[in-house]
Structure 1
């Protein structure tokens, strides 16, 4: 989805809890083999011991709103994405986030696309902003035509007020239902809240511009997280804890690894091409500075991402997840926050921000540091 007019990213925030879970403790407890710990590459990852996931999202959102100087009452949309249990049954965490922030005019929307939820929510928010801007322009044009037809003088239009959208994510991978070190292969699951504040039209103070987004899916791979299990009546009806290793083993026994490897190769190339299409950004040019990777284990990134990206762009791969681990739905939003915190992009430079999640879906956001004028 290329935005004819870039959306402004006024702020992005990453909130990390103080608690930590160490890889060597997981090895000592028998939950993780030493070789697997080395493949992951994380010494420790953040753990929220006493903060619920939606409250982590609220903390990140407050930081983003404060950084941009925006009131929650001005938000028109509040998207919240998550992967794992949010703390209540049959309940909307998106509405809770909006309520706690005081965003009572916003329409809360929950997005549950597993690990790709944050990127999906950014796409949804951007599309909503574009549609709102198009509707406002159409209404203004109709009023102008009516005024001219009636012989009256139309009132000069002032600069349009921006529409604001907030995207939050939060996950807490707490036991006993989830083992953050051993519930999956090649990924360590950590706790965090994130927030991204978008507006259209973009403003002169916006930290980044969202130029485009791209997503590619391979729905036939949903079986990797279903395996051979029948449909259960209740959560964790088959096992006492989430065990993605079991379902993936069942998939690999029947299909082998090649279908996923082939889909992953295709998807990474496809989202890069789609994200850059029509933007004027050269995948091999110096203006495309970074490729911000998902927060997966080091071996997974090296074998499945870095090697593949090298055939599609010369942008430098960056892994901001060594000290955080995988943040559930929040990898892409956290990547945006880290780009801003590190002031990684010079004016005019761009970055590709990636995420991927079960289903499978791969996404890429193209962002650019605005060129400032005197």
Structure 2
């Protein structure tokens, strides 16, 4: 089905055979406040209690750990995996180097198509969108491995000072082995939308060249957002932009649910990016769900994990036995571009997470 703001697809015969996650040690927000890293009043209002911090552990090492768990949990042979998709938000290692090949060398060997996906916090969704048609055209026993990983502990970004309405940045990795064989979690639908008129929201006030990282410019999303908003208000566009943004969030979820044939009442959990409590309440309201249908109580303990939020949370819910056969889960997110993604999953049997 194609709409004016994006596309949605009913997915058939694609399963998440195994899920892996790696979350490093958590630093409490209270301790960060004592060290002067965050304002205590702002931290209290956010409701976020902890942030996963990996120290000097590279993102690719975390990706390998999550990927190894996903493969183990899937029961697949390494030879079955012929596609590797690696999603990340922040810098992964030396410039001019591909992090996907590190994971390939560690886990899969050479007979694999390995590709890095760069679409911000929605990168895992985009990787799924790429994997589905690939699996449909490949041999029946072909599987794909999707990994996402980030370590934000670098000088050019301050995980504690991103701006109003944004969560503190946490480190971590997630992975899913995707297969056409019947499996424990079925992918029912995917939806993608964009709002390119707002692409300037995450670069406003900055030159396009030279890239900031090459001249040591720190990332300051607060000043960029304020610059974009001020320009939109003075131009008379702000309310239209805001309405369009909110509508796309809702419409993307609507189409994903419609393609999956699932009513809102039939959704057990809604998984979103990590965000402060008030932002999460507003987001769930836009989606048409009560706040208690979210997994925010888990998200608040680890921060916003870049492209890994949804599948680290899914891993947690499955490991805790919260999700059982027959449950439906809606995943929803947006990221710079702006891009909007939604997906619907159905739990079908044996959990793809093992103790």
Range into which the TM-score falls when normalised by the shorter chain: 0.7 to 0.9
How far apart are residue 263 of structure 1 and its match? 2.8
Q: Secondary structure at the match of 1:277?
A: helix
Q: In the aligned structure 2, how far is the partner of 1:187 from the partner of 1:208?
A: 29
In the alignment, is the contact (CA less than 8 A) between 1:118 and 1:331 conserved in 2?
no
In the alignment, is the contact (CA less than 8 A) between 1:46 and 1:191 conserved in 2?
yes
Deviations 1:176-195 (A, max 9, x none): 11110103432210000110
Q: Secondary structure at the match of 2:121?
A: helix
Question: TM-score, normalization: structure 2?
Answer: 0.88
Q: 1:315 to 1:283 in 2, by over 3 A?
A: farther
Q: Which has the larger radius of gyration?
A: 1
Match of 1:155 in 2: none
Root mean square deviation, CA, Å: 2.2
Moved over 6 A (4+): none
Q: In the aligned structure 2, how far is the partner of 1:115 from the partner of 1:105?
A: 28
Match for residue 314 of structure 2 among 329, 336, 343: 336
In the alignment, is the contact (CA less than 8 A) between 2:198 and 2:338 conserved in 1?
yes
In the alignment, is the contact (CA less than 8 A) between 1:210 and 1:368 conserved in 2?
yes
How far apart are residue 125 of structure 1 and its match? 1.1
Match for residue 167 of structure 1 among 132, 136, 146: 146
Q: In the aligned structure 2, how far is the partner of 1:4 from the partner of 1:114?
A: 23
In the alignment, is the contact (CA less than 8 A) between 2:284 and 2:291 conserved in 1?
no
How far apart are residue 249 of structure 1 and its match? 1.2
Match of 1:52 in 2: 58
Deviations 1:268-315 (A, max 9, x none): 22112211224322223xx32221222112121112x1221227x999
Q: In the aligned structure 1, how far is the partner of 2:24 from the partner of 2:291?
A: 34
Match for residue 276 of structure 2 among 278, 282, 297: 297
Q: In the aligned structure 2, how far is the partner of 1:314 from the partner of 1:46?
A: 23
Q: In the aligned structure 1, how far is the partner of 2:61 from the partner of 2:279?
A: 31
Q: Secondary structure at the match of 1:213?
A: strand
Match of 1:308 in 2: 286
Is there any run of 5+ residues in structure 1 with no aligned partner, and where?
Answer: 137-160
Tell me how many residue pairs correspond in the alignment: 337
In the alignment, is the contact (CA less than 8 A) between 2:295 and 2:313 conserved in 1?
no
How far apart are residue 332 of structure 1 and its match? 2.2
Match of 1:183 in 2: 162
How far apart are residue 76 of structure 1 and its match? 0.9
Deviations 1:194-224 (A, max 9, x none): 1011001x32xx2210011111111121211
Match for residue 16 of structure 1 among 23, 35, 46: 23
Q: In the aligned structure 2, how far is the partner of 1:277 from the partner of 1:25?
A: 44
Match of 2:3 in 1: none
How far apart are residue 371 of structure 1 and its match? 6.1
Match for residue 80 of structure 1 among 79, 86, 90: 86
Match for residue 255 of structure 1 among 229, 232, 239: 232
Match for residue 324 of structure 2 among 346, 351, 370: 346
Match of 1:151 in 2: none
Match of 1:145 in 2: none
Match of 1:210 in 2: 187
Q: 1:4 to 1:216 in 2, by over 3 A?
A: closer
Task: Return 5-14 or 167-176, whichever deviates more.
Answer: 5-14
In the alignment, is the contact (CA less than 8 A) between 2:58 and 2:92 conserved in 1?
yes
Superposition pairs of residues 72-221 of structure 1, within 5 angstroms: 72-132=78-138, 161-185=140-164, 186-200=166-180, 202-203=181-182, 206-221=183-198
Match for residue 268 of structure 1 among 249, 272, 286: 249
Match of 2:209 in 1: 232
Q: In the aligned structure 2, how far is the partner of 1:5 from the partner of 1:252?
A: 41
In the alignment, is the contact (CA less than 8 A) between 1:336 and 1:353 conserved in 2?
no
Match of 1:147 in 2: none
How far apart are residue 38 of structure 1 and its match? 2.1
Deviations 1:206-264 (A, max 9, x none): 22100111111111212111112112324435764211111111111111453453133
Match for residue 267 of structure 2 among 278, 281, 288: 288
Match of 1:150 in 2: none
